[in-house]
Amino acid sequence: SAVISQKPSRDICQRGTSLTIQCQVDSQVTMMFWYRQQPGQSLTLIATANQGSEATYESGFVIDKFPISRPNLTFSTLTVSNMSPEDSSIYLCSVAGEGNTIYFGEGSWLTVV
């Protein structure tokens, strides 16, 4: 199985600020995925991050708001920029691991005040 560590696990952020979430995997993976889960909702894919290329964003998500870095095969960051209360969500990193199983990190729970 893949072990995924996310930081921070929780944070309370001021409106208008930006926060970077880190995702570290214990093995090399080709693709990493970033999801958002708003309160009471299921998961929505933000973007797919490949090492060495620009991230691919889903409809409704843009690079200026959610810039992503993928400097190597075990690490990625997602930044939530110019935050508003609507950005209060759990942000989750995931990868495809052994046996084609999808694994998730514990999530980063952001509250914007």
Partner 1 sequence: KQEVTQIPAALSVPEGENLVLNCSFTDSAIYNLQWFRQDPGKGLTSLLLIQSSQREQTSGRLNASLDKSSGRSTLYIAASQPGDSATYLCAVITSRVDTPLVFGKGTRLSVIA
Residues that bind partner 1 (CB under 8 A): 1, 6, 30-31, 33, 41-43, 45, 48, 90, 92, 94, 96, 99-107, 109
Q: Which is nearer to partner 1, 17 or 41 (CB)?
A: 41
Q: Which is nearer to partner 1, 82 or 101 (CB)?
A: 101
Q: How far is the CB of 98 from partner 1 (least distance, A)?
A: 10
93-110 as b/e: b if 16+ CB within 10 A: bbbebeeeeebebebbbb
Side chain identity, residue 72: N
Total number of residues shown for the chain: 113
Q: Which is nearer to partner 1, 16 or 24 (CB)?
A: 24
Containing H/E element for 20?
Answer: strand 19-25
Integer Cα distance of 103 and 93 in angstroms:
9
Q: How far is the CB of 44 from partner 1 (least distance, A)?
A: 8
Pair of tokens at residue 11 = 């944070």
Q: How far is the CB of 70 from partner 1 (least distance, A)?
A: 14
Q: Which is nearer to partner 1, 59 or 82 (CB)?
A: 59
Pair of tokens at residue 62 = 């843009």
